[in-house]
């Protein structure tokens, strides 16, 4: 089967050009509207995970730098941003949105080079959504009184924001846009492996004329994030990342009066009933876990298939997996790009090893992978037990754990049997089944007959160990305001 598919699906390479992107050798910190060197004088490498080549140097911010950034944000809040009308704040946010649209191609290429995701994803999903979030929240800036009628509220002040590596610019947009719309100033830290596009965003923000100190970017590792969390003059922390670090942050700010929202990990159930449109569902499964290398907090990493259609679904899924093209993220034909970092590849390989040692039946794509870079073939584990590590822990890679069920009650119990509760998917022809499931699933988002759909007007967030607070939509404004 693999051979036949190779002939059918081997497409000539169609790589996106990189001539239009400008990358400096070194990126400094963005504090008070200026690019400044880190106090400690240290830098770390930004690596292209598809080639293992160094892209540039990124500044390593320490406590002193974070303090400088917080002071700049406080000053900008007190002297400029808190005094500005919502209408004027909105103008700046619209300007940022428009600039992102104008430079969408450049940002897409950079996001794929730095993070490893296929250009098709960054070009068609990430960057359009980044612009859409800024446009959406720009619209709210002068309408907060309508968002929360008859309530008295004000901004918190300085927001500290910490984001992960899987959607670097999109996570930055989810954080920056609502914070600015509600009148807060910002100190934001990207993940160590994906700092480049945020630094480009800082250049764009400077170009937009946003007053100095309203947005500050400090790059670095976990300690830089901890310095933001622990800084006494931060009013609100917004964190997206692992449940493990989320718990550390929660402990560290306990009793400090700082406000907190946590968007954490997930282990989503994707449920296929026998009456589902099977071909469509198979596409949804592939989109849910294999596109974007499974580097998605809401990835449909647990698949539940009703027994009567199990053989059909698995056969189609195996066939579809063989057609997935793994390779150069800048090639427009690529479906599965590079794993974000060497460390993440090791984590995924550990799960693959343990999953095989547990004795699970597995199926791995026979695709070829490039010699250099960090790659993982799409992999299915079949008939996985509820107790298996593959069904319990977040792998954050293109690895799918498949289970079966007979009745709706059984699948609800199995799907809810997890510490997480970020998202879920259901595939069926029956509206009643969808509503039954959506009311009983303990998950923040439940997609029906589709998967991984996002829109700035729609709130997103978790239950249980997937965190608390919502981002997106009207709900996403609330955590950035204090109400009397």
Phi-psi region of 116 (alpha: psi -120 to 50; beta: other; left: phi over 0): left
Q: Which residues pair with 36 in a beta bridge?
A: 29
Q: How far is the CB of 114 from Mg ion (least distance, A)?
A: 4
Q: Chain centroid to CA 19: how far?
A: 27
Distance of alpha carbon 102 from alpha carbon 260, whole angstroms: 34
Binding-site partner at residue 437 among ligand NAP, Mg ion, none, CB < 5 to 8 Å by type: none
* DSSP states along 171-231: HHHHHHHHHHHTT-EEEEE--TT--HHHHHHHHHHHHHTPPTTSEEE---SHHHHHHHHH-
Binding-site partner at residue 162 among ligand NAP, Mg ion, none, CB < 5 to 8 Å by type: ligand NAP
| DSSP classification of residue 331 | B
Binding-site partner at residue 334 among ligand NAP, Mg ion, none, CB < 5 to 8 Å by type: none
Q: How far is the CB of 245 from Mg ion (least distance, A)?
A: 19
Residue among 111, 121, 192, 297 flagged as catalytic: 297
Which one, 112 or 261, has the nearer CB to Mg ion? 112
Q: How far is the CB of 35 from ligand NAP (least distance, A)?
A: 20
Residue among 263, 394, 465, 478 flagged as catalytic: 263
What the block records as the tokens of 272 is 């296929």
Residue nearest to ligand NAP (CB): 225
Q: How far is the CB of 318 from ligand NAP (least distance, A)?
A: 27
Q: How far is the CB of 341 from Mg ion (least distance, A)?
A: 7
Question: 3-state class of 120 per DSSP?
Answer: helix
Binding-site partner at residue 376 among Mg ion, ligand NAP, none, CB < 5 to 8 Å by type: none
| Contact footprint for ligand NAP (CB under 6 A) | 162-166, 189, 191-192, 221-222, 225-226, 229, 240-242, 245, 248-249, 263-266, 297, 394, 396, 422, 462, 466-467
Which one, 66 or 210, has the nearer CB to ligand NAP? 66
* Other Cβ atoms within 10 Å of 81 Cβ, number: 26
263 in active site: yes
419 in active site: no
Which one, 241 or 327, has the nearer CB to ligand NAP? 241
Which one, 222 or 459, has the nearer CB to ligand NAP? 222
Distance of alpha carbon 214 from alpha carbon 230, whole angstroms: 20
| Contact footprint for Mg ion (CB under 5 A) | 46-47, 114, 193
Distance of alpha carbon 227 from alpha carbon 354, whole angstroms: 35
Contact indicator for 93, 137 with CB cutoff of 8 Å: yes
Residues with active-site annotation: 263, 297
């Amino acid at each position: 089967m693999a051979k036949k598919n190779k002939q059918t699906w081997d497409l000539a390479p169609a790589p996106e050009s990189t001539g239009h992107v400008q990358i400096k050798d070194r990126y400094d910190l963005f504090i008070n509207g200026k690019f400044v060197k880190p106090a400690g004088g240290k830098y770390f490498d930004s690596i292209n995970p598809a080639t293992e080549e160094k892209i540039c140097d990124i500044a390593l911010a320490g406590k002193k730098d974070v303090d400088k950034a917080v002071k700049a944000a406080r000053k900008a809040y007190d002297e400029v941003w808190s005094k500005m009308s919502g209408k004027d704040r909105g103008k700046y946010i619209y300007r940022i949105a428009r600039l992102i649209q104008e430079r969408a191609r450049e940002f897409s290429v950079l996001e794929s080079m730095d993070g490893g995701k296929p250009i098709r994803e960054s070009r068609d999903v990430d960057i359009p959504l980044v612009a859409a979030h800024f446009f959406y929240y720009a619209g709210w800036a002068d309408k907060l009184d309508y968002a929360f009628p008859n309530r008295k509220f004000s901004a918190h002040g300085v927001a500290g924001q910490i984001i992960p590596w899987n959607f670097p610019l999109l996570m930055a947009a989810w954080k920056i846009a609502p914070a600015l719309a509600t009148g807060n100033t910002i100190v934001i830290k990207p993940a160590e492996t994906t700092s480049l596009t945020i630094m480009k965003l800082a250049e764009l923000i400077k170009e937009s004329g946003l007053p100095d100190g309203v947005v500050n970017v400090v790059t670095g590792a976990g300690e830089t994030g901890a310095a933001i969390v622990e800084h006494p003059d931060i009013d609100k922390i917004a964190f997206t990342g692992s449940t493990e670090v989320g718990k550390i942050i929660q402990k560290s700010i306990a009793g400090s009066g700082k406000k907190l929202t946590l968007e954490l990990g997930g282990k989503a159930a994707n449920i296929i009933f026998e009456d589902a449109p099977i071909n469509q569902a198979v596409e949804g499964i592939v989109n849910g876990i294999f596109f974007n290398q499974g580097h998605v907090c809401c990835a449909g990493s647990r698949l539940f298939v009703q027994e009567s259609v199990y053989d059909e679904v698995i056969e189609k899924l195996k066939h579809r997996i063989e057609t997935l093209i793994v390779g150069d993220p800048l090639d427009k034909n690529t479906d599965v790009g590079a794993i974000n970092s060497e460390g993440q590849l090791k984590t995924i390989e550990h799960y693959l090893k343990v999953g095989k040692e547990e004795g699970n039946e597995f199926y791995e794509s026979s695709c070829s992978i490039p010699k250099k870079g960090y790659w993982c073939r799409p992999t299915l584990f079949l008939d996985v037990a509820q107790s298996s590590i593959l069904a319990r822990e977040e792998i954050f890679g293109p690895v799918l754990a498949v289970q079966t069920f007979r009745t709706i009650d059984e699948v609800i119990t199995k799907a809810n049997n997890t510490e997480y509760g970020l998202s879920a998917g259901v595939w069926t022809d029956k509206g009643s089944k969808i509503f039954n499931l959506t009311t009983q699933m303990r998950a923040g988002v439940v997609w029906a007959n589709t998967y991984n759909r996002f829109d700035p007007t729609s709130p997103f967030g978790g239950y249980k160990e997937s965190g608390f607070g919502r981002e997106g939509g009207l709900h996403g404004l609330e955590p950035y305001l204090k109400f009397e």
